[in-house]
Chain A
Amino acid sequence: AQSVAQPEDQVNVAEGNPLTVKCTYSVSGNPYLFWYVQYPNRGLQFLLKYITGDNLVKGSYGFEAEFNKSQTSFHLKKPSALVSDSALYFCAVGSGGYNKLIFGAGTRLAVHP
Chain B
Amino acid sequence: SQTIHQWPATLVQPVGSPLSLECTVEGTSNPNLYWYRQAAGRGLQLLFYSIGIDQISSEVPQNLSASRPQDRQFILSSKKLLLSDSGFYLCAWSVPGVGGETQYFGPGTRLLVL
Cβ contact within 8 Å between A99 and B42: no
Smallest CB separation, A110 vs chain B (Å): 14
Cβ contact within 8 Å between B32 and A99: yes
From B6, B32, B43, B105, A104 is in contact (CB under 8 Å) with B43
From B43, B51, B100, B107, A43 is in contact (CB under 8 Å) with B107
Q: Does B74 contact A (CB under 8 A)?
A: no
Interface residues of A in 77-100 (CB under 8 A from B): 88, 90, 94-100
Chain B contacts to A: CB under 8 angstroms: 6, 32, 41-44, 46, 49, 51, 59, 90, 92, 94, 97-108, 110
Chain A contacts to B: CB under 8 angstroms: 32, 34, 36, 41-46, 49, 51, 88, 90, 94-106
